[in-house]
Amino acid sequence: MTATRAMHSSHWGAFSALNDNGTLHITPFSGDPDPSPLLQNFENVLRHPVRLATPMVRRGWLEDGPGPDDRRGADDYIAISWEQAYSLAAAELKRVAGLAGPEAVFGGSYGWSSAGRFHHAQSQVHRFLNTSIGGYVRSVNSYSSGAASVILPHIVGDMNEIARRGVSWQEIAEHSEVVLSFGGLALKNSQVASGGLSEHTERGFIQQAARRGARFISVSPLASDLPDEAQGEWLAIHPGTDSALILALLQILKQRQWSDEAFLADYCVGWPQLVAYLNGEQDGQLRDAAWAAEICGIPAARIEALAEQLHGKRVIVSVAHALQRAQHGEQPVWLGLVLAAALGQPGLPGGGYSYALGALGHYGKQHNRVAFPALPQGKNGIDRLIPVARISDMLLHPGEKFRYNGRTLTYPTIKLAWWAGGNPFHHHQDLARLRKAFATLDTLIVHEVAWTSTARHADLVLPATMTLEREDVGGAPTDRHLIAMQQVAAPYGEAKDDYSIFSELSRRLGSEQAFTEGRNAREWQAHLYQQMQEKLQQQGISVPDFATFWQQGILELPQSDDAGRLLRHFRRDPQQHPLPTPSGKIEIYSATLASFDNADCPGHPVWLTPLQQPDEQYPFYLIANQPASRLHSQLDFGRFSVSQKRGGREVCSMHPRDAQQQGIAEGDVVEITNPRGTVLASVTLSEKVRTGVVQLPTGAWYDPVDPLAEQPTCRHGNPNVLTLDIGTSGLSQGCTGQITVVQIRRFTGEPPAVRAFEPPVISRNPPQASAAAGDVAPGA
The residues pairing with 318 across neighbouring beta strands, listed in sequence order, are 181, 354
Label residues 158-167 b or e (16+ Cβ within 10 Å = b): ebbbbbbbbb
Is residue 51 close enough to count as binding ligand PGD by CB under 6 A? no
Rounded to a whole number of angstroms, the minimum distance from the CB of residue 678 to ligand PGD is 16
Residue number with CB closer to ligand PGD (317 or 623): 623
**Residue number with the smallest Cβ distance to ligand PGD:** 737
CA 531-537-543 angle, to 5 degrees, is 80
- Applying CB under 6 A, among 632, 645, 655, 676 the residue interacting with ligand PGD is 632
268-327 residues near ligand PGD, rule: CB under 6 A: 325
Is residue 123 close enough to count as binding ligand PGD by CB under 6 A? no
Residue number with CB closer to ligand PGD (185 or 247): 185
Q: How far is CA 538 from CA 531, 547, 552, in A?
A: 11, 21, 23
Query: Do 493 and 463 meet the contact criterion of CB atoms below 8 Å apart?
Result: yes
Q: Mention every residue, 6+ apart, whose C-beta is less than 8 A from residue 540.
A: none
Is residue 8 close enough to count as binding ligand PGD by CB under 6 A? no
- Applying CB under 6 A, among 252, 269, 303, 464 the residue interacting with ligand PGD is 464
Is residue 177 close enough to count as binding ligand PGD by CB under 6 A? no
Catalytic residue among 61, 112, 136, 418: 112
Is residue 671 close enough to count as binding ligand PGD by CB under 6 A? no
Three-state DSSP at 316 gives strand
* Distance separating alpha carbons of residues 431 and 358, to the nearest angstrom: 29
> How many CA atoms within 13 Å lie on the side-chain side of 726?
14
* Distance separating alpha carbons of residues 730 and 146, to the nearest angstrom: 12
Is residue 224 close enough to count as binding ligand PGD by CB under 6 A? no
* Distance separating alpha carbons of residues 292 and 302, to the nearest angstrom: 11
If DSSP states are collapsed to H, E and C, what string results for 640-681? HHHHCCECCECEEEECHHHHHHHCCCCCCEEEEEECCEEEEE
Query: Do 110 and 121 meet the contact criterion of CB atoms below 8 Å apart?
Result: no
Strand order in the sheet with 5-10: 5-10, 13-20, 23-28
- Taking residues 634 to 653 in sequence order and writing x for each that binds ligand PGD by CB under 6 A, - otherwise, the string is x-------------------
Residue number with CB closer to ligand PGD (10 or 590): 10
Residue number with CB closer to ligand PGD (110 or 267): 110
Is residue 472 close enough to count as binding ligand PGD by CB under 6 A? no
Is residue 633 close enough to count as binding ligand PGD by CB under 6 A? yes
Is residue 113 close enough to count as binding ligand PGD by CB under 6 A? yes
Rounded to a whole number of angstroms, the minimum distance from the CB of residue 351 to ligand PGD is 27
> How many chain residues touch ligand PGD (CB under 6 A)?
39
Rounded to a whole number of angstroms, the minimum distance from the CB of residue 695 to ligand PGD is 11
Instruction: Report the candidate in 189, 191, 184, 190 with the shortest Cα–Cα distance to residue 226.
Output: 184
Residue number with CB closer to ligand PGD (347 or 424): 424
Residue number with CB closer to ligand PGD (115 or 155): 115
Is residue 181 close enough to count as binding ligand PGD by CB under 6 A? no
Residue number with CB closer to ligand PGD (139 or 259): 139
Is residue 355 close enough to count as binding ligand PGD by CB under 6 A? no
Is residue 674 close enough to count as binding ligand PGD by CB under 6 A? no
Evaluate the CA torsion angle 667, 669, 670, 675 in order and state its sign: positive
Is residue 119 close enough to count as binding ligand PGD by CB under 6 A? yes
Kindly indicate which of the ranges 71-79, 138-146, 267-275, 582-590 contains the residues binding ligand PGD, using the contact rule CB under 6 A: 138-146
729-758 residues near ligand PGD, rule: CB under 6 A: 737-738
Is residue 229 close enough to count as binding ligand PGD by CB under 6 A? no
Burial tier of 540 (Cβ tally within 10 Å: 0-12, 13-18, 19+) = exposed
Full DSSP string of 394-462: HHHSTT-EEEETTEEEE----SEEEEES--HHHHSS-HHHHHHHHHT-SEEEEEESB--TTGGG-SEEE
* Distance separating alpha carbons of residues 334 and 336, to the nearest angstrom: 6
Is residue 353 close enough to count as binding ligand PGD by CB under 6 A? no
Q: Is residue 169 annotated as part of the catalytic site, yes or no?
A: no
Taking residue 312's Cβ as centre, other Cβ atoms within 10 Å add up to 10
Is residue 723 close enough to count as binding ligand PGD by CB under 6 A? yes
608-627 residues near ligand PGD, rule: CB under 6 A: 624-626
Is residue 387 close enough to count as binding ligand PGD by CB under 6 A? no
If DSSP states are collapsed to H, E and C, what string results for 720-746? HHCCCCCCCCCCCCCCCCCEEEEEEEE
Residue number with CB closer to ligand PGD (624 or 659): 624
* Distance separating alpha carbons of residues 522 and 528, to the nearest angstrom: 10
Catalytic residue among 110, 169, 418, 499: 110
The residues pairing with 105 across neighbouring beta strands, listed in sequence order, are 416
Rounded to a whole number of angstroms, the minimum distance from the CB of residue 592 to ligand PGD is 27
* Distance separating alpha carbons of residues 625 and 184, to the nearest angstrom: 12
Is residue 60 close enough to count as binding ligand PGD by CB under 6 A? no
Residue number with CB closer to ligand PGD (38 or 670): 38
* Distance separating alpha carbons of residues 689 and 604, to the nearest angstrom: 32
Is residue 358 close enough to count as binding ligand PGD by CB under 6 A? no
Is residue 422 close enough to count as binding ligand PGD by CB under 6 A? yes
- Applying CB under 6 A, among 60, 421, 603, 692 the residue interacting with ligand PGD is 421
Label residues 719-751 b or e (16+ Cβ within 10 Å = b): bbbbbbbbbbbbbbbbbbbbbbbbbbeebeeeb
Residue number with CB closer to ligand PGD (178 or 226): 226
Is residue 553 close enough to count as binding ligand PGD by CB under 6 A? no
- Applying CB under 6 A, among 29, 42, 143, 529 the residue interacting with ligand PGD is 143
Residue number with CB closer to ligand PGD (354 or 720): 720
Q: For residue 412, is it left (φ>0), alpha (ψ between -120 and 50) or beta?
A: beta
Strand order in the sheet with 178-182: 233-236, 215-220, 178-182, 315-319, 352-355
Kindly indicate which of the ranges 96-104, 140-148, 589-597, 766-774 contains the residues binding ligand PGD, using the contact rule CB under 6 A: 140-148
Residue number with CB closer to ligand PGD (598 or 738): 738
* Distance separating alpha carbons of residues 245 and 322, to the nearest angstrom: 16
Is residue 676 close enough to count as binding ligand PGD by CB under 6 A? no
Largest Cα span, the chain: 85
Residue number with CB closer to ligand PGD (447 or 715): 447
Q: Is residue 334 annotated as part of the catalytic site, yes or no?
A: no
Instruction: Report the candidate in 763, 447, 753, 430 with the shortest Cα–Cα distance to residue 612.
Output: 430
Rounded to a whole number of angstroms, the minimum distance from the CB of residue 533 to ligand PGD is 25
Label residues 401-425 b or e (16+ Cβ within 10 Å = b): ebbbbeeebebbebbbbbbbbbbbb
433-452 residues near ligand PGD, rule: CB under 6 A: 447-450, 452
Q: How far is CA 525 from CA 272, 550, 580, 682, in A?
A: 54, 10, 35, 45
- Applying CB under 6 A, among 138, 314, 390, 426 the residue interacting with ligand PGD is 426
* Distance separating alpha carbons of residues 532 and 539, to the nearest angstrom: 11
Kindly indicate which of the ranges 114-122, 216-224, 301-309, 600-608 contains the residues binding ligand PGD, using the contact rule CB under 6 A: 114-122
Kindly indicate which of the ranges 20-28, 203-211, 462-470, 688-696 contains the residues binding ligand PGD, using the contact rule CB under 6 A: 462-470
DSSP 702: P
Is residue 139 close enough to count as binding ligand PGD by CB under 6 A? no
The residues that are catalytic are 110, 112
Please give the residue ranges that form the binding site for ligand PGD (CB under 6 A).
Answer: 110-114, 119, 121, 142-144, 325, 420-423, 426-427, 447-450, 452, 464, 466-467, 498, 624-626, 631-634, 698, 719-720, 723, 737-738
